[in-house]
Amino acid sequence: MADWTIAQLEAHLESEMHHGKPGLSAAKKQALVRALRPDARHWIPILAESPVPGAREVAASLIGPLWHDSQELDAVVFRLAQDPHWEVREWAAGPLVDRYLADAEGSWALFCDWADHAPDEVKRALAVAIKSLAHSNQVSPDALLKIADRLVRFENDYLRKNLGPFAIGDGLLPLYPEPTLSHLARWARSQQWAARWNAAAAFTAKKAAPWIETAQDILASLTGDQHPQVRRVAARVLKSAAPKNL
């Protein structure tokens, strides 16, 4: 692969059809990642600037094992997390997971800064990473919930949908119910409506269903919320959990 040109790699990445569009399957792109891994530092900046989305996805995957040693990759991940192509944004969450698992202490300040100040798409990548990190069973739930605490107040729809229902409801809550329920109860009392929305929306996830009864007080308090989006999602959760008339 080291002898390939970028034009050849781009052509290879678009040599098949996947989901009705030119592109390799995820498995074949991962095979390409493994083949390029020995020359990752050469290929990352080239692939990250490619007009071919699959090339940028491969760049994101190549970054993961190297990022904790290379601050210059911060800007590459930052840009890929905001990519106009949705699949590239999905792949851009991977390096966040890899970096944190390789060096949690060294990653903490950057993640907190991005959670507080980065564009919404980058915050959303952090939310996606929270779920993957939770399922890795290698990270304290308290650390992940502290990152979620920083994200929960932001109103952006793209971020919220990937935080409450996805990272929390499908991720942290089923694995770590006690600390997660404690945070959800606190979010439900927040002055920020986005935090209250996330508290209710966490229970829209299928994996969160076993904890709806435990969270009745949280949800009931939000059905009368002053913000219509919070009221609607809380009422929807309670309605879905109500016994059906036979």
Same domain (yes/no): 96, 178: no
27-84 pLDDT, tens digit each? 999 999 999 999 999 999 999 999 999 999 999 999 999 998 888 999 999 999 999 9
Residue 206 scores a pLDDT above 70: yes
Same domain (yes/no): 81, 178: no
Residue 157 CB-half CA count within 13 A: 1
Looking at the chain, the whole-number percentage of residues with pLDDT higher than 90 is 89
* Distances 20 to 16, 24, 31, 54 between C-alpha atoms, Å: 10, 11, 21, 14
What is the distance between the alpha carbons of residues 125 and 153, in angstroms, rounded to a whole number?
A: 16
Of residues 96, 21, 83, the one with CA closest to residue 57: 83
* pLDDT confidence bin for 243, thresholds 50/70/90: low
Dihedral (Cα; 116, 206, 218, 131), 10-degree rounding: -20
Q: Is the pTM of this model over 0.85?
A: yes
DSSP helix, strand, coil percent of the chain (3-state; round to 5): 75, 0, 20
71-126 pLDDT, tens digit each? 899 999 999 999 999 999 999 999 999 999 999 999 999 999 999 999 999 999 99
> What's the domain count of the chain?
2
Domain hosting residue 9, numbered range: 1-102
Q: Does a structural domain hold residue 120?
A: no
Give the per-residue pLDDT at 163. 98
Give strand ranges (E) for the chain: 17-18, 21-22
Of residues 65, 49, 79, 61, the one with CA closest to residue 24: 61
Q: Does a structural domain hold residue 205?
A: yes
150-165 pLDDT, tens digit each? 999 999 999 999 999 9
Q: Does a structural domain hold residue 125?
A: no
Q: Does a structural domain hold residue 130?
A: no
Give the per-residue pLDDT at 97. 97
